[in-house]
Amino acid sequence: MKALILRAAGTNCDLETAHAFERVGMTAERRHVNELLAEPTMLQSYRVLAIPGGFSYGDDVAAGRVLATELRERVVPQARKLVEDGGLILGICNGFQVLVKTGLLPGLTEQDVTLTHNASHRYIDKWVELEVDGKCAFLTKGESFYFPIAHAEGKLVADEATLDRLERDGMVALRYRDNPNGSLRSIAGLTDATGRILGLMPHPERHMEPWHHPTWTRDGLSDLPDGLRFFQQAVAAVS
């Protein structure tokens, strides 16, 4: 099984994301967005499309906006087909921003939510506790994760009617226990109606080893780091 790790100018977590998929037994191939734009059908030879974190195109217009615009017309139809065929799409941090701005998440209309400046108006870099909600294919409702965040535009906003619908339809995949950025209803990640597209602001690829945990020296090494568990469940969902 192969995962396509998409990169563009400013992407800076592609190597870590590729490593995470390789740790759980997948073949990870890093490809520049121009390759995918030239041949969108190549996506059908993969089981996972992952859009990693970073600052694609410097977030000059808005976080993820330029890359989302590139993907919308040519790649999004192939991405939808990937999901229809049982594949997965994962967007982490900047990748989550891209997914919401293409309309792939939450997938109600062209763009239903956005991710904007943190309530503090500052860049945040810290570890956060997360709870799983919703019906995502590679998460189990009720489980928890501990991942780092690193973003300036991670506050999820939408109108009340959209938020109510996301809640009702089980599209809220992850919530912060201690909301660090002011996201409405503490939303840290969303899934679509199929449960096979997931976007989240925290970075699971940064908790793949026991010693990545910030308190491992006093609490001991975990047998199964949260990031490794996260990616194992992703592989199980496409096996």
Q: DSSP of 75-119, one letter per residue?
A: THHHHHHHHHTT-EEEEETHHHHHHHHHT-SS-SSS---EEE--T
- Catalytic: 93? yes
* Catalytic one of 16, 70, 153, 205: 205
For residue 136, indicate whether it is catalytic.
no
- CA dist 140 to 63, 79, 229, Å? 29, 24, 11
**Contact status, residue 87 vs residue 235, Cβ threshold 8 Å:** no
CB half-sphere exposure, 149, CA atoms < 13 A: 26
- State the pairing for strand pair 124-132/27-32: unpaired
Name the catalytic one among 203, 207, 212, 213.
203
Instruction: Determine contact, residues 174/192, Cβ cutoff 8 Å.
Output: no
> Which member of 16, 70, 93, 207 is catalytic?
93
Q: What is the dihedral of CA 93, 95, 97, 98, to 10 degrees?
A: 170
Residue 205 falls in the annotated catalytic set: yes
CB 103, CB 111: distance < 8 Å? yes
Active site residues: 93, 203, 205
